[in-house]
């Protein structure tokens, strides 16, 4: 696509001046944050260098011992947490005697509770990514760091790579602290791999493991195992749709983490109308309770028993079971898309211009991403300042229909032989 225009204001879209530039190795888009953490790291690095010089040489090498207690910190989004699940198997193989604990957010703790290698999950109720932007996360970060200090961790890993998280793992007192310096606070860490722009998140997690001597030829595969109770709940839910077991089950996740990632409701409506008109499909709309008004608007006055609203009905464990029993999921770049890939369900991901599909595409066997390129991408915004929201509006229902029919199991089996994965990217004009 050459030049895109804002039809509402009749002016060309502004090219993103911050397109993946970095300063001093920082991954922040805005200059003020790069300058701020550049100053913090310069001062902090000097202080810590002097402190290390004063420490007795014998104490400097204590972190070389095999860890007996490992802490992993994951206080951000659901999709990020799902991508992290692939780390625990290799971590446990490398340190089989170690206890592995996780400090999680309220919305992603169920992900780690499903991981067999995780021994304990603590939940931090006040985190920076919580809705409402309360500043309670600031004292909570310090309190949790000091609370964890009593457990005497040998190794602490932060996957996110931001200053507050690096501060938390330092306050935990862990002898070895592994994370990213690209978000600021690198002087608080003992091990920090190089930050690579636009590298996939699974490869970045593999880079963290490589610092611990864990190398893998195969990519890290996120996994989620729904509980037996969740599977039973999902089975009952699908049985509510007449003859669902005999038809192709499609889950539509109509929500998103930010307004900038949302697909227009009218596009969803047209997609649902097309699928409901075909007797071979059973369609379920999912999301949080906040997505219920959107789901109702999408379904409108439809009385079709083949399309149902399940928004706000399921927790993460139950949603994973619902998606696992489906034939395909369609959704925005959000947690449920990663969840679908983790349970082995084909997924069509509708990517906005917020960030890079190469970095954030779900890691699964059958994943298709759709995106409309715009000059303002990647914008890293939560809301689109352009009236027509071009990056999402230009992804048409017809594009989605073509993609999902190509990913459906029976069509995939007929079209491919001896192929273990199908990962495609679509460009929409």
Give the other-Cβ count within 10 Å of 321's Cβ: 26
Please report which confidence band the pLDDT of residue 20 belongs to, taking 50, 70 and 90 as the band edges: very low
| Angle formed at CA 26 by CA 24 and CA 28, multiple of 5 degrees | 135
Lowest mean pLDDT among 180-184, 327-331, 373-377, 405-409: 373-377
The Cα–Cα gap between 261 and 314 comes to 22
Find the DSSP H helices in 188-227: 201-210
Instruction: Indicate the pLDDT class of residue 426, thresholds 50, 70 and 90.
Output: low
Q: Are residues 304 and 368 in the same domain?
A: yes
Mean of the per-residue pLDDT values for the chain?
Answer: 86
Angstrom CA distances, 84 to 64, 78, 257, 336, 403, stand at 24, 10, 18, 15, 27
Q: Is residue 217 part of a domain?
A: no
Closest by CA position to 256, among listed 399, 75, 78? 78
Let me know if residue 19 belongs to a domain: no
Phi, psi of 63 (to 5 degrees): -70, -5
Looking at the fold, whether 326 and 411 belong to one and the same domain comes out as yes
The answer to whether residues 250 and 326 touch, using CB atoms and an 8 Å cutoff, is yes
**By mean pLDDT, which of 26-35, 119-128, 262-271 is the weakest?**
26-35
Q: What is the pLDDT of residue 243?
A: 82
Q: Are strands 307-309 and 281-286 parallel, antiparallel or unpaired?
A: parallel
Whether the predicted model's global pTM rises above the 0.85 cut: yes
Same domain, 203 and 233: no
194 shares its domain with 282: no
Q: Which domain holds residue 397?
A: 228-427
Residue 17 pLDDT greater than 60, yes or no: no
pLDDT of amino acid 257: 87
Q: Are residues 200 and 235 in the same domain?
A: no
pLDDT, position 133: 66
Q: Identify whether 184 is part of a domain.
A: yes
Whether residue 170 is contained in a domain is answered as yes
Residue 386 covered by a domain: yes
Query: Nearest Cα to 344, choosing from 287, 272, 252, 422?
Result: 422
| φ, ψ dihedrals at 138, nearest 5° | -65, -55
How many structural domains are present in the chain? 2
Instruction: Let me know if residue 5 belongs to a domain.
Output: no
Query: Is 220 a member of any domain?
Result: no
Do 244 and 389 have their domain in common? yes
């Amino acid at each position: 696509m050459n030049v895109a225009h804002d039809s509402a204001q009749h002016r060309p879209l502004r090219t993103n001046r911050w397109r993946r530039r970095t300063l001093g190795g920082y991954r922040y888009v805005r200059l003020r944050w790069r300058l701020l953490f550049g100053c913090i790291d310069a001062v902090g690095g000097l202080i810590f260098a002097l402190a290390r010089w004063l420490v007795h040489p014998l104490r400097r090498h204590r972190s070389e011992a095999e860890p007996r207690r490992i802490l992993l910190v994951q206080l951000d989004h659901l999709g990020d947490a799902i991508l992290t699940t692939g780390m625990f198997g290799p971590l446990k193989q490398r340190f089989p005697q170690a206890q592995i604990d996780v400090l999680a957010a309220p919305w992603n703790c169920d992900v780690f509770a499903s991981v067999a290698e995780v021994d304990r999950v603590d939940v931090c109720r006040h985190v920076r990514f919580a809705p409402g932007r309360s500043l309670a996360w600031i004292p909570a970060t310090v309190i949790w760091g000091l609370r964890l200090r009593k457990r005497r961790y040998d190794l602490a890993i932060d996957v996110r790579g931001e200053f507050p998280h690096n501060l938390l793992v330092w306050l935990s007192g862990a002898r070895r602290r592994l994370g990213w310096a690209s978000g600021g606070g690198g002087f608080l860490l003992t091990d920090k791999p190089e930050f690579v722009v636009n590298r996939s998140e699974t490869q970045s997690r593999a880079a963290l493991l490589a610092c611990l001597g864990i190398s893998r030829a195969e990519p890290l595969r996120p996994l989620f195992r729904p509980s037996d109770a969740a599977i039973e709940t999902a089975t009952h839910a699908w049985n509510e749709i007449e003859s669902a077991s005999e038809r192709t089950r499609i889950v539509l996740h109509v929500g998103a983490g930010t307004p900038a990632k949302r697909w227009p409701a009218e596009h969803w409506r047209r997609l649902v109308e097309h699928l409901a008109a075909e007797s071979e499909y059973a369609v379920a709309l999912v999301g949080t309770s906040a997505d219920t008004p959107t789901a109702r608007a999408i379904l409108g006055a439809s009385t079709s028993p083949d399309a149902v609203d399940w928004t706000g009905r399921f927790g993460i464990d139950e949603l994973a079971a619902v998606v696992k029993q489906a034939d395909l999921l369609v959704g925005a770049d959000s947690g449920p898309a990663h969840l679908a890939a983790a349970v082995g369900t084909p997924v069509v991901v509708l990517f906005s211009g917020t960030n890079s599909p190469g970095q954030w595409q779900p890691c699964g066997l059958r994943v298709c991403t759709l995106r409309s390129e715009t000059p303002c991408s990647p914008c890293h915004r939560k809301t689109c300042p352009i009236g027509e929201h071009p990056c999402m509006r230009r992804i048409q229902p017809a594009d989605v229909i073509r993609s999902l029919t190509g990913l459906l199991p029976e069509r995939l089996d007929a079209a491919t032989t001896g192929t273990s994965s199908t990962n495609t990217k679509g460009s929409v004009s």
